[in-house]
Structure 1
């Protein structure tokens, strides 16, 4: 095992893979996932963007830890955006053709071309664009790949990476937190946590031994839009890896004793979260930002009142209705040509049976609430510091504003040398951590300002943040800030495609989110082509400080009330309400 662990680490570079000893997805980490997935975010993503990265989900070493799955998809690699992350619902995709596909061919399982993406307004695609200092920013060349739509509705993705002798498999199913039934918030995460606690062929110990015998770790994550399982092994173990992942994903047994144990662990974790103000703030942002009736409007780990009701029948029913081939995607990355990888995937899929072929009713992603400004203070007794979030509606990943939004948000608060970092941390010393980010999911998003400060300076922090963000909404980034943001994002993007895990997730997301492969293939040139006018328009439309924003404070209730009472209506609630 040690030899294979060393091979994996060397192949992916330092820090690209988690400790292979962390192969137990039943134990919830602070990030809500186990395993490495390529995507937007360096390190692990906080749930609401608290102290987190910008729309580009770039390196944010300053932020406090929070469970990513409470807000959106966590990611372990630097990548292009916050979606979605991404950063946490599946509408049946069979009803709409994938970009560039032939609807007639889909019924017969033919390969489809997904390279076309929605064009950005006013932008013509090209092989490169001028970067900072007049240099040309070249786009990234994707490796050989093939995409096929199977008669079952399953999408197959095969990518050839010959540089390292590794095989990676990723299964994404439309079983994200948005699919949680009413009154059962957290059931998607709960079900995913139980997948490796026993299958129809072996018990939990047997599953652990199966995974460990390949010298790897099984990644299981739940985002707003999907549940995903991943494995990376040496190339000679590709068949074993595929069989193991499909068994865990499609044949769980949900033993009664494991369900009871998982319920106790989840309840204990939800209670312990109350001791971490950043985790409470993360849960509040998701709940208030999207609204209680929106499919995204609850933490992925649920609420204590709902988790207490979870039984084996709940997990069985959720798995049977959501883990189906229609709308799912199986991605394989290896050294073999894409045609051979597709044949391998089809051969192993022929040995398993999907739990359900039923078509689910589409979720209602209605417009997010746009009320007047208000503040909610979650009272944590004896707090000497206050966590602050300022939240407004954002955009989904497929929005035409995507590229300008990524750029302007990086200049506002997404980079370490950004407007808000300078104003709040450098110039005034009000906080060690400050950021803005766009939390972009498949169907909606949020625009979030995050920081914290001592009680005595809470009002000053709020005033400075609102003043700077409102001014920025009028002017957009300066010429220098615009150039820096474009250069930074274009330079960081290739890092999100370096490993097999990162590449599989990025390409899978581009397909499932309806972006097309051009989203990746022309990402750098489109970033470099964002104009000052486009960035200013995005800054105005997506400012966290615009009308309808909500201010979230986690800390002493009376301190929060006094600091905010003459800004907007203030409601103080006990912190236990968010457990």
Structure 2
């Protein structure tokens, strides 16, 4: 929606506040994670499980699209996709065959803020260690051959072209640019046609050399291993990485100074409307009141106020929603709806009205209680596999949240009251300062009538 397929980072960010935690007092940490550093400076987080003879390992780099070189958006995404295309020792087929031979699953992808390289393997020595060694080779010694780069660049350009056939994707990309302006968060993770065509092979190699270094790496290991095996795994994955250094912190996201509406002509039966308002960084102390409040406003599906007022009572849309986009350097609150072309103005007015009323009055006691119960009751689905546990731990580390964050989480959710929510929304969300993107077939006519800012 607002980012490429939510950029995979938004389930992690939202799930960072949603692990399986009992409300009863606990003598031990909910998530007892062991931590250490490798000799060359990579951070390691290890959580031992014994439910299955498997291990999930992930190396996370601060190397998302926010780190793309200026004017060359899509470099991070292109670099990640090329990791599977060959190393200095073997080609793409040999890499694929190597992982398949030991039954391992491997993938690499970039999102807005990070690049993650993932491995899932059985823990039996004959299966695990060949997979780990191959992953280490792929991460540290990609070949980045000119022919592979050109081929993957064409594939990425086709994917960008394909996104232009989706009104939702067009709206998401346009809103991201309008909401973040000149900030590194602004451009699509895959880049634009112009930016990807500007990427040269040396840009990919330089991006890898700068960002795929130990001091910029976090290794997360979850599975049926003991500490000694986990140390060996982390060392193997990072030994060939240069020490390097982490990139500097990104600039803070500036607040929206005024309202703006952008209309984009698109041949569709419905119009897609997205609204971005000011938000907060993930570590902000008001995150939890905003999260619980947004659950009431538009984050809980059919139970949300937006869905009740705009779909059930007025039939304006099949789906309407809101979500927080809390990043490390700032954030936005996003509202969205797809509605009939002749109902855009009505829907937009009602969404604004509902937001303003929510800021002023907050949730009802019943809405708040239902949302708190829903958040707490939904925890089991957030922690039902090693892979999801790996995501949670990786999110905590990347977002610089304390590893004991979950220990009293349900107590803190249940302690949020309507005053906390009203205060947080009143302080951080201003309906008069927003960016609106409307994608639909009436756009050209609207612009001709002077309705576009």
Would you call these one fold, judging by a TM-score over 0.5?
yes
Which of 135, 139, 151 in structure 2 is aligned with 1:249? 139
| Counterpart for residue 442 of structure 1 | 328
Which of 144, 148, 159 in structure 1 is aligned with 2:36? 148
SS of the aligned residue for 2:177 comes to helix
| Counterpart for residue 537 of structure 1 | 423
The Cα shift of 1:282 comes to: 1.2
TM-score (structure 2 length as normaliser): 0.92
The Cα shift of 1:553 comes to: 0.7
Which of 425, 431, 448 in structure 2 is aligned with 1:546? 431
| Counterpart for residue 318 of structure 2 | 432
- Structure 1 vs Structure 2 CA RMSD: 2.5
Residues in 2 aligned to 1:198 and 1:207: alpha-carbon distance in whole angstroms: 7
Distance change in 2, residues 1:212/1:342 (3 Å): closer
| Counterpart for residue 278 of structure 2 | 393
SS of the aligned residue for 1:518 comes to coil
Residues in 2 aligned to 1:562 and 1:140: alpha-carbon distance in whole angstroms: 64
Residues in 2 aligned to 1:140 and 1:423: alpha-carbon distance in whole angstroms: 44
| Counterpart for residue 73 of structure 1 | 9
1:315 and 2:204 aligned = yes
1:80 and 1:496 in contact (8 A); partners too: no
Matches within 5 A, 1:92-491: 142-236=30-124, 237-291=127-181, 293-337=182-226, 339-349=227-237, 352-354=239-241, 356-359=242-245, 362-380=248-266, 382-416=267-301, 417-491=303-377
Distance change in 2, residues 1:232/1:470 (3 Å): same
SS of the aligned residue for 1:428 comes to coil
The Cα shift of 1:434 comes to: 0.4
SS of the aligned residue for 1:359 comes to coil
Distance change in 2, residues 1:367/1:442 (3 Å): closer
Residues in 2 aligned to 1:429 and 1:542: alpha-carbon distance in whole angstroms: 30
1:80 and 1:489 in contact (8 A); partners too: no
Which deviations, in whole Å up to 9, do the C-alpha atoms of 1:107-135 show, x marking residues without a partner?
A: xxxxxxxxxxxxxxxxxxxx975xxxxxx
SS of the aligned residue for 1:196 comes to helix
Which deviations, in whole Å up to 9, do the C-alpha atoms of 1:200-246 show, x marking residues without a partner?
A: 12101111111222324322221222100111121113322321222
Distance change in 2, residues 1:409/1:564 (3 Å): farther
2:298 and 2:323 in contact (8 A); partners too: yes
Residues in 2 aligned to 1:80 and 1:360: alpha-carbon distance in whole angstroms: 23
Which deviations, in whole Å up to 9, do the C-alpha atoms of 1:149-205 show, x marking residues without a partner?
A: 335331011110011111111100111111101111110011101110001121011
Unaligned segments of structure 2, at least 5 residues: none
- Structure with the bigger percentage of helix: 2
2:16 and 2:396 in contact (8 A); partners too: no
Distance change in 2, residues 1:488/1:564 (3 Å): farther
Which of 379, 392, 409 in structure 2 is aligned with 1:493? 379
Residues in 2 aligned to 1:392 and 1:250: alpha-carbon distance in whole angstroms: 40
2:62 and 2:246 in contact (8 A); partners too: no
SS of the aligned residue for 1:342 comes to helix
Residues in 2 aligned to 1:159 and 1:249: alpha-carbon distance in whole angstroms: 22
